[in-house]
Amino acid sequence: MVRLDRDGNRELAVLRWALIPFWAKDKKIGFKSINARAETVATAPAFREAFPRRRCLVPATGFYEWKKLPGGGKQPYNIGMRDGSLFAMAGLWECWKKGPEPIESFTIITGPPNSLVAELHDRMPVILEPDHWDAWLTSKDTGEVQAMLQPFPAQLMSAYPVSPKVGNVKDDTPDLIEPLQGEPSDWRSTTRLRGQLPRPSPSICNMRSCFRTMVDCATVCGAWEKSCGKSRLSSEWRIGLPWQALRSAQNT
């Protein structure tokens, strides 16, 4: 995730997903704080201290959600930008210091869905407009940042079915984001979800440019490589970010 360091500069940091409030007696409370509701994030005990002071951007190229099928079962979908570009979800972070070692953790803010995601679920992560990234990190006006917690425009997004393997945390391979071979029984009736199939893969050049807008690239590669292979996201939202794009950013 991307946050401000002590000097007010942006940095890429690798944190545990599932926010542990600084006041918690047990770190296990974090399992209940993977997501924060936009409607109550400013007042909920677990998040009200972090909301005005410790906001972050959670970069991703997509997230998964499951659609209930008429005949039973669920079909996972990969949801992202129509052009395949990188985006930033609204997040909060916290540092818990009541264990043997400090633990930094974060949560992703969710809100009502746009018309695209509404066909799959009644919630979606809050995706911030690029013009809002700076204010989300720096603003002291909680009213201003609260107003940013809106559904992202559906016309800029697409969704397509992917393999059910995404539901198994033991599976972590590139093919998980590939469009499903063959269509589920209700696929033809949900033409609005079809978008551009397959969704175009973002070029390294475009990914590099977008990520540079989010964070100073001089800090990117070391932090990302340090975490590579050690950080797993395995809950309702599984998000992805091509580390090759981040490594490439250092070389320009």
- pLDDT of 133-175, one tens digit each? 999 999 999 999 999 999 999 999 999 999 999 988 888 888 8
Average pLDDT score over the chain: 78
Residue 197 reports pLDDT greater than 60: no
Can you give the pLDDT at residue 35? 95
Residue 44 reports pLDDT greater than 80: yes
CATH topology assigned to domain 2-249? hypothetical protein yedk fold (3.90.1680)
Residues 105-109 have a mean pLDDT of 96
Can you give the pLDDT at residue 249? 33
Residues 111-128 have a mean pLDDT of 96
Lowest mean pLDDT among 50-64, 142-156, 201-215: 201-215
Residue labelled with tokens 């599984």: 238
Residues 41-61 have a mean pLDDT of 96
Residues 67-74 have a mean pLDDT of 90
Residue 231 reports pLDDT greater than 70: no
Can you give the pLDDT at residue 208? 47
Q: Supply angle C-alpha 209, 215, 221, rounded to 5.
A: 85
Ordered by start, the domain boundaries in the chain are: 2-249
CA 37, distance to chain mean position in Å, is 14
Residue 113 reports pLDDT greater than 90: yes
Task: Decide the pairing of beta strands 87-96 and 103-111.
Answer: antiparallel
More confident residue, 41 or 234: 41
Q: What predicted TM-score, i.e. pTM, was given to this entire model?
A: 0.77
Tell me how far apart the alpha carbons of residues 161 and 184 are, in angstroms, rounded to a whole number.
8
